[in-house]
A = this chain, B = another copy of it.
Amino acid sequence: MTPPEPRPRDRGIPEATVARLPVYLRALQALDDRGILTVSSEHLAETTGVNSAKLRKDLSHLGSYGTRGVGYEVEYLIYQISRELGLTQDWSVAIVGVGNLGRALANYGGFGTRGFRIAALLDADTGVLGDTVAGLSVGHIDTLEDVVGRENVSIGVIATPAGAAQEVCDRFVQAGVTSVLNFAPVVLNVPPGVDVRKVDLSIELQILAFHEQRKADGYAGLDPFGRGPS
């Protein structure tokens, strides 16, 4: 029975698993660089900081690529994970906002190396137009639609100030972009079918502050008795 099903399940791979596959992939590539041929779930789990049973279950969603009594073949597993994540093809990415953050993203090594190609760097500030960043010339934001169409951009990265983010997002979506990575501290509004992931520095800091405060409260013993919430 599947009458009201908003999420038809992405081919049965849980979202939590998808989020971990890149971590496994990176660890496997490190092993591969060191010439290691096979790895056990126990070992790979340790280096990636997860439970080994969870790792095996994650990998089992891709199929049975391990050998009992031996482990997983590193190269083969790299290939299978890359394939599942869609990294065997190149995705065109456009970055809007060439401040420090945009530059950091453009120069980020893992960007171009595997599966992703920066199609354009765009900005509204005439002060940076024409600058060369990471081997690319910074273009004007008004060419966004052209670039997206011409370069077949499917992933848009927003590294603008908060005020400009929604408008840039709208233009991305209008131009046909269906995945957005947002670094601006705002909640983006997008139509169904468009994926948005956000990376938010201040949220991360605030979560850390919460736990930090909790540690302080608990260990310092500042509270004699009180503490009567709930």
Contact = CB atoms under 8 A, between A and B. Distances in A.
Interface of A: 6-8, 10-12, 18-19, 21-23, 25-27, 47-49, 63, 84-87, 89, 91, 93, 99-101, 103-105, 107-108, 110-111, 114-116, 154-155, 178-179, 181, 185, 187, 189, 192-193, 195, 197, 199-215, 218, 222-223, 226, 228-230
B208 A179 contact: yes
Contacts of A200: 22
18 contacts: A8-B229, A10-B210, A18-B207, A23-B187, A26-B185, A27-B187, A49-B189, A85-B206, A85-B210, A85-B213, A108-B202, A110-B202, A115-B206, A181-B201, A181-B208, A192-B228, A192-B230, A193-B228
A27 to B, nearest CB: 7
The count of identical subunits is: 2
Nearest to A26: B185
Contacts of A26: 185, 202
A230 B201 CA distance: 29
Given A93-B205, A228-B192, A229-B11, A86 B210 contact: yes
Give 4 nearest A-B pairs by CB, closest first: A86-B213, A100-B104, A101-B104, A110-B202
A209 B18 contact: no
